[in-house]
Structure 1
Amino acid sequence: MAVSATVAAVALSAASVTPASAEGGPCGQGGSGSLGGSGSATGSIGTALPWITGAPDGGVPRLTGRTKAVEMVTGPGSPNDTIKRFNVSGTDLGIMWDNGNADGRHDVLVAFGDTVGDCGTDGDDWRSNVLLRSSDTNLADGIRIDSSPLSAPNRSKQIIRGFGIPGEYTIIPTAGVAVGGVQYVRVMSVRSWDTPGNWTTLYSVLAYSTDNGENWQLDPATVRAGIDGIDIPGIPAITPGNTKFQMSAFVDGHDGYIYEYGTPSGRHGSALLARVPGTQIRDLTAYRYWNGSTWVADLGEAVPVIESPVSELSVQWNSYLNKYVAMYTDTSNSLVIRQADRLEGPWSGTQTILSGVLVPSLYGGFMHPWTDGRYLEFVATTWDRYNVIYFRTDLDGLQMAATDQADRPDPATTGQARLLGVDHPEGDEVIDGPAPAGQ
């Protein structure tokens, strides 16, 4: 997933190498085991992520207001039939990027985090990450999945594995970008899931694929250690400060540079900004960092461009707003956006486009790379469903000056958005939703 919640957060706890056992999990109460290390699971994710409750769920929230839930991307009730086609019954994140016409195909690649399959088997067929592909250009009605890298018929394979160092627990994708037909994904190596919104990482690193996401390799030279001073066998010495680049968001500046926003593990850090010539994306010495006025080589001089708390960040240009849009989960588990004229900022105040009051346990909002204009399409996950939902937001009226620093109120608290109910896959079960505060 990312359990991501891309994933979850911050303080390193040397004692928390093994997750505590817990009731619940995406394959039902109690789970069936525990996760193994180095991206090869031997049991249920339920014992590893104690804040997940219930089995994979396909309930689509019915909302009023500018944001609507369109469909489930994965799991029960998904038109993509990911359970039968890919043995994906529960997963999260759905980090999306344009593949740059790799191998003569124009696809959107979608990377997911911790994934379960057949809940009736030992270990629930857990995988640390999987990838799906889509060439669907009609964004208004959802996203149709064409294919996935497979390890067997109808089974998506784990695409990226870690270095297998001691304590490595799971490998979670946080951002993707294509450069010259090569796919790059920044992943984080999770040592432990701690409390909700907090987890411990060993490192982040770039993985790359030259065959449209089918096969991947890690580049050890791009490792950013998750703990200053940590010794990772076989990995070059790491610059202090790399703990601030454990999770990422990529933007192709179309100026020869790839821009990378970096945040610490979890949901409580600020976002820094780096850029690198696209042809040198695997050379950490070529990265330059924004210090508030110019680009510098010293990561230690970087200053936040988006102040904390920022998590599971997604950034891209929108022609309707005529601004860059940054989307992330805030501390109330709502999805917010900010707007800016330049990637360096300044960034506007926040606008809530999907309230955690209406869609509880929400996290991981990632924009579709082909979305543009008045309607903004994106995906998000909830812990109770442990599956990815496709949403669409009307941006009319949301234009905001980058210099306007005032945060706008949550529309769920003003009556502009309400949850009417939840439509389940069978179509015969509707759960009436509560009116938001103030209703």
Structure 2
Amino acid sequence: MSTAGRGDRGRPASPLTRPPSVVELGTLEQPDRGNPSFIRDGGMSGPVGGKLLWLFGDAISPHFGLVDNSAALGPSLPVSAAADLTRTDEQTDADGNPVPFIPMTAAEQNPPEGDRFALWAGNRIVPTADGSGDAWVFFHQLQIPWDFDSHPWWTSAGIARIHAPDARHRYPYVTRDNPVACNPTCLFTAQVDPHQFNGTAIVDDGYLYLTHAGSNPPYGRPLFATRADFSALDRLLTEGDGPGDTETAAQIKALFRYWNGGPGADPASWVDDMTQAASMVGFEEAWGGHHSISWNAYLSSYIAVYLDWDRKLKIRTAPTYVGPWSAPMELYDTASACTDNGTLNLYSGWDHPDLATANGRSIVVSYYCGNSVGSSVPAQVHLLRATFPEPHRLSKNKEK
């Protein structure tokens, strides 16, 4: 969702002084509902063809094995406060099982022995500039060893086009025919680039912004940011000569500038050398590096939502996409909805600005609650609604 005119302007931060009220909305509908062993993580989202599109990572079930990346349509946009946000409409195969959404190339379908490829979307998609209802999805191409540790998870980042439903397609579908769709050329590659940006995409003041969660062992995941002129990016993606157009691929990559730690509103803080990228202060506590950043009109501020190491949802505010960020405030303790004696996987905490109501006073946040073998907790994407106090109280801190 574009927030043109509200972005990187260095206006005062607006930290909340009182926590929002939170209501659990339930879990997203999914195929194989009668199977307690069904596992599907993710819960990324964005607008396509007038509806919200949910995107997922791995889907695992004894009935169908592993399906890499799938998708489901959600509510029509804009939503009302009374809408049931857990309902989905999903394309499935003849047996009712989920189907892959981002198609794999022949090379990805035939990985080196002992490995598999996975295509995982970033947590937000953005509409194309032509008003067609299509969207750009920023995805990771991962080469993962089946034993998980025989080599690093080699990660690259690409861009693909999501097409809105049409006369021949009931559901949205994806094509990888632009120059940086990892077919085979990616936008950022593990072999060349220190960062593979694909997270929390937004278009603001004419720029596309993306993040990447780095790695600071043992658990730290510092966040880095990049931006590019969205109009120029959209044009090159649309008018390029397809996957083999390496010249246009280089032009696309050259559009990106990397935040070097300076004031977010200062163009000089965005440089063309990725090795000069600086991490945002205070975000190493984001569990797994999963996070979201979006503009909130009600707070007149950017908000960041994430799960911390204690697996509590936190929220911060800032005047620009890169900060300076307020101290974290607890949004929700997931223990109330995600408790089990087994080992739980809890991650993918982020907000969904397209589902916000009352001008952003009420936001919708999702998180994934997984399980161990034999766990009684279903492995599902949970939704909750957080409503900010009225009137909200804003701090007087200025950007530094």
Check whether TM > 0.5: yes
Q: Do structure 1's residue 286 and structure 2's residue 255 form an aligned pair? A: yes
Q: Do structure 1's residue 211 and structure 2's residue 147 form an aligned pair? A: no
- Residue 140 of structure 1: CA displacement? 4.8
Looking at structure 1, the residues matched to 320 and 180 of structure 2 have their Cα atoms a distance apart, in angstroms, of 26
- Say whether the 8 Å CA contact 1:240–1:300 is kept in structure 2: no
Q: SS of 1:148's equivalent?
A: coil
Report what 2:180 is aligned to. 222
Q: Where in structure 2 are there 5+ consecutive unaligned residues?
A: 1-19, 166-170, 238-251, 264-268, 372-377
Q: SS of 2:367's equivalent?
A: strand
Q: Give the TM-score, by structure 1 length.
A: 0.62
Identity of aligned residues (%): 19
Report what 1:317 is aligned to. 295
- Residue 238 of structure 1: CA displacement? 4.9
- How do 1:87-236 residues align onto structure 2 when only pairs under 5 Å count? 89-99=38-48, 102=49, 106-117=50-61, 119=62, 121=63, 124-136=64-76, 137-140=79-82, 142-145=84-87, 147-152=89-94, 154-163=96-105, 164=108, 165-166=111-112, 167-175=115-123, 176-180=125-129, 181-190=133-142, 191-192=144-145, 200-212=153-165, 214-218=172-176, 221-222=179-180
Report what 1:298 is aligned to. 273
- Say whether the 8 Å CA contact 1:193–1:199 is kept in structure 2: no
Q: SS of 1:135's equivalent?
A: strand
Q: Do structure 1's residue 342 and structure 2's residue 320 form an aligned pair? A: yes
The amino acid of 2:193's aligned partner reads N
- Residue 371 of structure 1: CA displacement? 0.6
Q: SS of 1:216's equivalent?
A: strand
Describe the superposition over 1:377-403 as per-residue Cα deviations: whole angstroms up to 9, x where unpaired.
121111122111111112217755484
Q: Where in structure 1 are there 5+ consecutive unaligned residues?
A: 1-64, 76-81, 225-231, 406-439
User: In the superposition, relative to structure 1, how do residues 400 and 112 fare at CA in structure 2: closer, same or farther (>3 Å)?
Assistant: farther
Looking at structure 1, the residues matched to 194 and 162 of structure 2 have their Cα atoms a distance apart, in angstroms, of 25
The amino acid of 2:280's aligned partner reads V
Looking at structure 1, the residues matched to 224 and 203 of structure 2 have their Cα atoms a distance apart, in angstroms, of 16
Report what 2:363 is aligned to. 376
Looking at structure 2, the residues matched to 178 and 300 of structure 1 have their Cα atoms a distance apart, in angstroms, of 29
Q: SS of 1:321's equivalent?
A: coil
Looking at structure 1, the residues matched to 160 and 188 of structure 2 have their Cα atoms a distance apart, in angstroms, of 19
- Say whether the 8 Å CA contact 2:121–2:137 is kept in structure 1: yes
Greater RCO, CA 8 A, separation 6+: 2
Looking at structure 2, the residues matched to 173 and 133 of structure 1 have their Cα atoms a distance apart, in angstroms, of 15
Report what 1:57 is aligned to. none
- Residue 217 of structure 1: CA displacement? 3.1
Looking at structure 1, the residues matched to 255 and 310 of structure 2 have their Cα atoms a distance apart, in angstroms, of 37
Describe the superposition over 1:70-91 as per-residue Cα deviations: whole angstroms up to 9, x where unpaired.
111134xxxxxx4369x99431
- Residue 207 of structure 1: CA displacement? 2.2
Looking at structure 2, the residues matched to 173 and 265 of structure 1 have their Cα atoms a distance apart, in angstroms, of 19
What is the Cα-based RMSD across aligned positions, in Å? 3.7
